A and B are shown apart, each in its own frame.
Chain A
Amino acid sequence: MSTVLVFLEAKSGVPTRISLEAFAAAAQLAASSGAQLAAAMVGSASGPGFALLGGASQIFALEHLLLEHYTADGYTAAYAQLIARVQPDYVLFPHTYEVRDFAPRLATRLGRVLISDVTGFQASAGQILFMRQLFQGKLNGHYHAASPAPCLISVQAGAFRADAPAATSVPAATFAPELEASAIRTQPGEPFRAAAQTVDLASAPLLVSVGRGIKDEANIPLVQELATALGAELAASRPICDAGWLPMERQVGSSGQTVAPKLYLAVGISGAIQHLVGMKGSQCVVAINKDENAPIFEIADYGIVGDLFEVVPALTAAVRKAKG
């Protein structure tokens, strides 16, 4: 029987949300191809996270002193050994910063290419097509594996629905890879956070968020005025914070904050996936953009296609008038 093997990441011993989404994707893929599901995670087999992988018929706890801190060399070697043991047809990962770091190396070692950042799959003419985004979400691509098993896939955050973890009666088996300290060529330091956050975007009910379309730092007051009129906090996409036009703590997206306000008003933001993952849980999304094909419109409830330098002042005036 063929196998779909999914690797999960844990925080404090519990699988992360995106890992459970990858687990759900792997379960779907296994069901649609009549394969069995196997799951693997770094940690001790007695850890609580391993009891939450209901539906998997094999569970592996990857345990080694050298896996305690993430390194690309350590994870690549360990996962290659488990893949050699399990011989899966498909190997799935959550598309995290760690996976992006080591999975292409792992695929290369196996003579394969990772299909990265997958948003969905469908069976078509006897093969499985995997969807991923191109051009920052302006285009979708359909890929298939042309090489023999295994096929390696990483799954985008939010693309699959993670059900509440189900209890399992399958005990986790310890898999102790053979690793040499001398084969690990990088020494990672302790993770740290930059400055203390003074703005909590996550708790703001209304957000006006500004992107590249604003063109110049001198134009920021234009959106600040709109935010003030609405009683909203000002947020931004990455390029604005990189340029120093607004502080990093106002950044929404995968490298900034994740928000889910009642209203998210995106001004001049095209909607690259790294931004969308940080705000797509918003209750109402309004987008103002000059490009009618900007991906932000795919998730917007209301859209205005136009020049933000005309639309934003008009909107500020209309909001002030409405508020009296």
Chain B
Amino acid sequence: MKIIVAIKQVPERDARIRIDSAGKWIALEDIEFRMNESDAYALEEALLLREAHGGEVVVLSAGPERVGQTIREALAKGADRGIHIVSDALSGYDALGVASLMAAAIRDEAADLILTGLQSDDLGLGQTGVILAELLGICHASLILKIEKSDSGIRVLRELEDGWFQHIDMSTPALLTIQSGNTKLRYATLMGIKKAKTKDLRVVEAAALGVSATPCVLLDSVALPSRQKTTQMLTGTPAEAAAKLVEKLQQEVRVL
């Protein structure tokens, strides 16, 4: 089975969010980057499938040069090779634009499965995978927790709302977006890190893929959210803050 895993490099979860001078995005200086969480689970599922059934795992990512580091991390965890769509101006593309770049870069790979995370931790659009499926003319399922091979293709476990689940049978090729949390993520071994340096990493210039960057949807500006409620902040040492809170719980909230 040939599996492509689309991963995104995002600011780490605890990164301090400051708005840049143009008010269009966050300031990226001093930000640490890492692999998007649900993409890491997609990679794990791909590696498990390869271990069970053989085949090849190819990681795909788009972004500036620093993204190469996240691709190497995936190679160190066990992916066989990588494809890096290099662009310093990816924010000029909307989700359709980015998915179009990806479709152009992998169309000839003829993968059996394409996996990606449910959504990114930064933009949180949750769309790129599904758009990619439509562009490649293949079927998809989203919010997937488990993948099993079946006689006619694959059987996947999909998470619904309020603690409900559903199995879906589908043919391949298919694209699945993976929900976080169903398996334990592996760490890269020292040997894996060493091997990753010699694995094949194909670099494709975004501009060479013949995709229009004219977006359908534009992000005009970003802003820090305003508080919906007036939050009373209780300050002081931990003991002082705790005492103030207990007083509020007694007098105002009346639950003590």
Contact = CB atoms under 8 A, between A and B. Distances in A.
A256 interface: yes
A144 B169 CA distance: 37
Q: Is the interface of B mostly helix, strand, loop or mixed?
A: mixed
Contacts of A140: 222-225
Interface string B238-251: 11011101101110
Contacts of A243: 181
A305 interface: yes
B85 interface: no
B166 A191 contact: yes
Given A105-B133, A238-B181, A142 B228 contact: no
Interface in B158-174: 159-171, 174
Contacts of B215: 113, 146
Contacts of B221: 141-142
Interface in A244-266: 248, 254-258, 262-263
Interface stretch (A46-54, A59-67, A95-103, A164-172): A95-103
Contacts of A133: 124, 225
Contact of A101 (B123, B142, B246, B256): B142
Interface in A296-324: 297-307, 310-311, 313-315, 317-319, 321-323
A315 B248 contact: no
A255 B124 contact: no
A286 B181 contact: no
Nearest to A192: B165
A155 to B, nearest CB: 14
A108 B135 contact: yes
Contact of B17 (A135, A303, A310): A135
B229 interface: yes
A189 B222 CA distance: 41
Kindly state the interface size class of chain B when it binds its partner: 35 or more
Contacts, number: 254
B43 interface: no
Contacts of A139: 17, 19, 26, 222-225
B130 interface: yes
9 contacts: A72-B139, A114-B127, A116-B126, A186-B169, A186-B170, A205-B255, A239-B181, A301-B253, A318-B246
A117 B124 contact: yes
Contacts of A302: 231-234, 245, 248
A75 B164 CA distance: 21
B96 interface: yes
A89 interface: no
A187 B14 CA distance: 40
B143 A189 contact: no
Which among A109, A138, A248 has the highest number of chain B CB atoms within 10 Å?
A138
